[in-house]
């Protein structure tokens, strides 16, 4: 007597309506294999007809979507990404997130801080040239979104003009812009016309660095050289924190339309921005 075991197992299999077969030919073969031998018939399943059953399983496992990579600060907006990169380029003495090591003699001199009036005037006049350039770029607005950064309240050119006039009244000779300022001004002008993402990196770092570390420099110079006189360069009309926040919001809005590659390109420009600003800062010690 033939065993009933195969038949019972087959009934169990076919009473599962959720079990589907990828090939009608394969299903016919399985069902007909367990009927009486006198009426049984078999179809050979071509190799190519069996392949999708295996391939489908592999594809579904390998094409699972990977978690999106998150960049430091990305959840808070692109400005936070820029801030994070900038902080890493500070020393630990300057910022808790700082990773930069002091190696060069010039940087060691900045730490010791021995400014001179002549050097400070060079610093101010070179900064005046840079801010003139920035304000001219956003006014011209070769790229339309530059116009978003007109009249932000962070502008420094007019303030610097007043300070330089005060020094002139005190009997000091105002120098011509030197190489660091002239070079940076030209770079900014050319960059703004062909590389807007890179320009925005410099724009952000110049204005925001001055509102933080720049103010500390102003206080130190005032204490050592100016009998604590506060220059206009370090004053803003209105609430500085709100002015900065307004610009943050504008920068974040502009960056929303950028690709990840464009954002990364902007971030990569941070070190160059620090270099040029550092060259101008060192004029104070000359």
* Residue ranges covered by each domain of the chain: 115-284
Asked if pLDDT for residue 36 goes beyond 80, the answer is: no
pTM: 0.73
| Contact (Cβ atoms closer than 8 angstroms) between residue 122 and residue 175 | yes
91 forms beta bridges with 100
Average confidence (pLDDT) over 149-160 = 98
Question: With b meaning 16 or more CB within 10 Å and e meaning fewer, what string describes 52-81?
Answer: eeeeeeeeeeeeeeeeeeebebeeebbbbb
Q: Which of 40-49, 113-122, 166-175, 250-259 has the lowest average pLDDT? A: 40-49
Query: CATH second-level architecture of 115-284?
Result: Up-down Bundle (1.20)
Q: Give the list of residues 6+ apart from residue 202 with CB closer than 8 angstroms, or none.
A: 188, 191, 269, 272, 273, 276
How many H-runs (helices) and E-runs (strands) does the chain carry? 13, 0
Q: What would the two tokens of residue 230 be?
A: 């506060």
Indicate the DSSP class of residue 151. Answer: S
Average confidence (pLDDT) over 151-166 = 98
Closest CA to 138 of 122, 155, 163: 155
């Amino acid at each position: 007597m033939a065993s009933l075991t195969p038949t019972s197992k087959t009934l169990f299999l076919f009473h599962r309506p959720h079990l589907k077969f990828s090939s009608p030919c394969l299903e016919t073969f399985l069902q007909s294999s367990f009927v009486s031998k006198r009426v049984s018939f078999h179809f050979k399943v071509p190799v190519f007809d069996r392949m999708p059953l295996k391939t489908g399983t592999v594809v579904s496992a390998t094409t699972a979507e990977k978690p999106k990579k998150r960049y430091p600060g990305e959840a808070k907006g692109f400005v936070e990404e820029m801030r994070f990169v900038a902080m890493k380029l500070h020393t630990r003495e300057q910022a808790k997130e700082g990773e930069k090591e002091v190696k060069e003699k010039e940087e060691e001199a900045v730490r010791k801080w021995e400014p001179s009036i002549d050097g400070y005037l060079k610093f101010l006049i070179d900064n005046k040239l840079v801010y003139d350039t920035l304000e001219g770029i956003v006014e011209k607005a070769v790229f339309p979104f530059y116009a978003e950064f007109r009249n932000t309240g962070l502008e420094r050119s007019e303030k610097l003009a007043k300070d330089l006039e005060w020094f002139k009244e005190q009997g000091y000779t105002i120098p011509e812009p030197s190489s660091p300022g002239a070079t940076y001004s030209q770079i900014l002008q050319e960059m703004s016309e062909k590389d807007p993402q890179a320009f925005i990196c410099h724009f952000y770092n110049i204005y925001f660095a001055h509102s933080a570390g720049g103010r500390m420099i102003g206080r130190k110079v005032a204490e050592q050289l100016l009998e604590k006189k506060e220059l206009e360069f370090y004053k803003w009309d209105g609430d500085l924190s709100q002015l900065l926040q307004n610009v943050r919001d504008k920068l974040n809005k502009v960056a929303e339309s950028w690709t990840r590659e464009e954002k990364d390109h902007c971030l990569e420009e941070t070190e160059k921005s620090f270099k040029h600003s550092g060259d101008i800062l060192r004029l104070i010690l000359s």
